[in-house]
């Protein structure tokens, strides 16, 4: 398995992955998935054996890097690609001056996944695109 995860400018690949996972698989309305914030974000792409298989984006708000739009193609979940994406996002945030904290909105079924990566759930459960989430944070 030849996996490469890093910052990318290939937004077409990220958008294609997000369409498959969020819009087609999870029934997120396209108007919510395509929120107009991509030009202001850093993007990460996971490429396995030359094929894009997962992505994430990071929005910077003050000293917080908000990791979002994390997705991996269904057939490839459970193979460490999501872990590699989150670790790459944390590495990218550590390289930014003035950013000291990472935050994300985790789908509730994925809370354990993020806890294993050092994130701590905060606040109440809420719905985002009709899917239950909780905010999670970790210091860098």
The answer on pLDDT for 62 being more than 90 is yes
Q: Which residues of 54-68 are buried (b: 16+ CB within 10 A; e: fewer)?
A: bbbbbbeeeebbbbb
Report residue 132's pLDDT band, with 50, 70 and 90 as the boundaries. Answer: very high
Share of the chain above pLDDT 90, in %: 98
Question: Is 0.85 surpassed by the pTM of this model?
Answer: yes
pLDDT digits (tens, 9 = 90+) for 66-81: 999 999 999 999 999 9
Supply the mean pLDDT for the chain.
96
Tell me the domains of the chain and their CATH numbers.
3-99 (3.40.630.30)
> In this predicted structure, what is the pLDDT of residue 45?
98
pLDDT digits (tens, 9 = 90+) for 1-32: 799 999 999 999 999 999 999 999 999 999 99
Distances (CA, A) of 54 to 65, 100, 121: 19, 25, 23
Q: By the 8 A CB rule, do 105 and 69 touch?
A: no
> In this predicted structure, what is the pLDDT of residue 13?
98
> In this predicted structure, what is the pLDDT of residue 1?
74
Average pLDDT over residues 42-65: 97
Q: Rounded to the nearest 5 degrees, what angle is found at the Cα of 71, between the Cα atoms of 44 and 112?
A: 110
């Amino acid at each position: 398995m030849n996996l490469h995860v890093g910052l990318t400018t290939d937004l077409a690949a990220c958008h294609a992955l997000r369409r498959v996972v969020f819009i087609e698989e999870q029934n997120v309305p396209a108007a919510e998935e395509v929120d107009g914030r991509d030009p202001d974000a850093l993007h990460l792409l996971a490429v396995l054996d030359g094929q894009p298989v997962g992505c994430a984006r990071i929005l910077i708000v003050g000293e917080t890097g908000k990791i979002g739009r994390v997705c991996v193609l269904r057939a490839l979940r459970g193979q460490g690609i999501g872990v590699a994406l989150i670790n790459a996002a944390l590495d990218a945030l550590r390289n930014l001056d003035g950013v000291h904290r990472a935050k994300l909105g985790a789908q509730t079924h994925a809370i354990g996944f993020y806890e294993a990566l050092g994130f701590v759930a905060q606040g109440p459960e809420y719905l985002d695109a009709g899917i239950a989430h909780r905010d999670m944070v970790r210091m860098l």
